[in-house]
Structure 1
């Protein structure tokens, strides 16, 4: 379980999150709200990519920053925007990310193959990322986040730029992982996924509340 208590995050004079308290249990949590409301900022805090200006984050009852190493060891994170290494193949990039997570290379390679097979990317895993379209890049970022069967999965619009069939394939994998993990996700498919979510939270004007 992941818990936020009175979290605030500002950039200069602009306060994006203001006194947010929320609990994320095992299962799928959907974040909804208008563009610029703070959904991506909230995901970056959950993924320890940023630190709050105030408040506390706890993973399995242990507070960060002390629990940051333990949280990162079980984390999968797919941000909406990421600079990918254009000169690497998709497989090389995935194995590099697996190494950073401390995963066994052979196991990670097998997992990557299975995931990319499910989402229609497997035929391109030995091609350089420079040749990838936006949708292919989105699938690659999602696939690396899934490596290691993470117990905490933070996903920022993982189905954006995907056709309907591929979006459904990605969504199916997310729902499967949510049976065993805390999954927090922003998506334009929130209405379709809401019946399979344990909660839908609305982010607006720096606050978070049940939808």
Structure 2
């Protein structure tokens, strides 16, 4: 079943058409987005995560079109963009609790889940450290972990393994594959060759179009 779909979606910035009449379905499972830098992969993820709206066309979640279904989608969304301004004065654990609160999650359950995920990606020793002291790779892992809180049914991930060493990237990959057993997971990654065997589809974004790779 395709929980997420796009119907004739277009998005432009000024005179540059980034996506042009794109129609797609995203079933439960892992969908990989590949293509050259600047082709529109991040734009597509922002549209799916309701961070932006299309200029034309419709996006639907579980049979209901946006914007009417926006609140329903956001209630089960996990989003990890490439760039995000993190609150430097908070600890990682405080930030996770804040995100859990925004998602309406039970804070005790979310805290326990956060600690387990932090351990899985190698952040367990640093969860009470302030984000100001975090390296780029640690920030990337934190953004990834917050996206998984609440076991979202839609997970949009933009290069979640960037700036990570090979072993840590593989740990994130394993968590992504596991979540994709129950959720719609759409992601861009430089590890597409390694994750492609686990994907239900690999799509190439280029020239305003999104087609099977």
CA drift at 1:155: 0.1
Give secondary structure in 1 for the equivalent of 2:89. coil
Match of 2:47 among 40, 45, 48: 45
Q: Which consecutive segments of 4 or more residues in structure 1 shift more than 4 A?
A: none
Equivalent residue for 1:16? 18
Equivalent residue for 1:36? 38
CA drift at 1:26: 0.2
CA drift at 1:111: 0.4
Match of 1:172 among 174, 177, 181: 174
Structure 1 residues without counterparts, runs of 5 or longer: none
Equivalent residue for 1:145? 147
Alpha-carbon distance between aligned partners in 2 of 1:85 and 1:16, rounded to the nearest angstrom: 31
Structure 2 residues without counterparts, runs of 5 or longer: none
Give the TM-score taking structure 2 as reference length. 0.98
Equivalent residue for 1:60? 62
Equivalences for residues 9-158 of structure 1 within 5 A: 9-158=11-160
CA drift at 1:24: 0.4
Alpha-carbon distance between aligned partners in 2 of 1:98 and 1:55, rounded to the nearest angstrom: 32
1:54-74: CA deviations, max 9, x gaps?
000000110000000000000
Equivalent residue for 1:185? 187
Give secondary structure in 1 for the equivalent of 2:23. strand
Aligned-CA RMSD value: 0.4
Match of 1:203 among 196, 205, 208: 205
Give the TM-score taking structure 1 as reference length. 0.99
CA drift at 1:12: 1.3
